[in-house]
Amino acid sequence: MDLSNSNTAKNIEAAFGGESMANRKYLFFAEVTRKLGMSELSKLFRETANQETEHAFAHFRLMHPELVVTDAANLSEEQKKAIAARCLQLAIEGETYEYTTMYPEFAAQAKSDRDGDAVAEFDAQTAESQEHAGIFRKAAHNFGLLTHIENHHANQYTEALNALGGTVAAEKATSGDPATQKWMCKQCSVIYDPVMGDPDSGIAPGTPFEAIADDWECPICGAKKSMFVPYFEAIAA
């Protein structure tokens, strides 16, 4: 029986999204309260986040029963590969949607909203409109960065899926030229492209990574410059 269009199936998916969001939100709260020195409250948020994860897993098992593994020892290698391939297929679908549709549309909307607030800013010259314009500008910038990250993730999953089928991944290498060598944050996978720079952080286009000040931070996760590593790209055939 196809339940894909049933209200219950849609509710399960919504519940999965809600529990997943709660997990990340509580982990964020745990980090905030940890920095405030409230260790017990931080522990409470982290424990609750773990519980929300279990709730989300329960919903996801209902959404994708083909991925439920009860006894791996009794599965053939082909069955194991099929399950792993399905995981990668779903991951590729999600990442591809994010970098082809979701983040480009979000970035365009953020730019549009920023323009709207810019008009209000000139009309009213209020601190609030300035604040809003800054938020939308930052959002548009972040959405653009995340587009490249999700593209990178999709490529990684595609390579892994191809590897399950015996396809050897394309050889990768660094640029070797500081003017074009990209660097990737090990913490969140944001990619610094010297051609683009990071204007929002005062880094002009054309700035090699080595020329950036040591106190520069990742524009997405705030990681230190030392957390970045050279980005390896597939060698053109």
First to last CA, the chain: 47
Query: How high is the mean pLDDT in each 10-residue block of the chain (237 residues)?
Result: 71 93 96 96 94 92 93 93 93 91 85 60 51 68 83 88 86 90 92 91 93 93 92 79
Q: What is the pLDDT of residue 128?
A: 55
Q: Answer yes or no: are the C-beta atoms of 151 and 99 closer than 8 Å.
A: yes
Q: What is the pLDDT of residue 117?
A: 52
| Structure token pair of residue 121 | 């800013």
* Nearest CA among 30, 32, 68, 84 for reference residue 52: 30
**Would you state the pLDDT for residue 131?**
64
Q: Which amino acid, 139?
A: A
**Which secondary structure element, helix H or strand E, spans residue 81, and what is its range?**
helix 77-97
Q: pLDDT at position 106, please?
A: 85
pLDDT score for 214: 94
Q: Residue 125's pLDDT is what? A: 45
DSSP state of 169: P
pLDDT of residue 127: 56
pLDDT computed for residue 129 by the predictor: 52
User: What is the pLDDT at residue 213?
Assistant: 94
pLDDT at 47: 93
Q: Do 217 and 223 meet the contact criterion of CB atoms below 8 Å apart?
A: yes
Helix, strand, coil shares, percent, the chain, to 5? 65, 5, 30
CA distances to 12, 20, 25, 67, 211 from 49, in Å? 19, 9, 8, 23, 40
Query: What's the rounded Cα separation, in Å, for the pair 54 and 60?
Result: 10
Tell me how crowded residue 122 is: count the other CB atoms within 10 A of its CB.
9
User: In this structure, are residues 175 and 181 in contact, taking their beta carbons and an 8 Å threshold?
Assistant: yes
Predicted pLDDT of residue 236: 67
Per-residue pLDDT at 1: 41
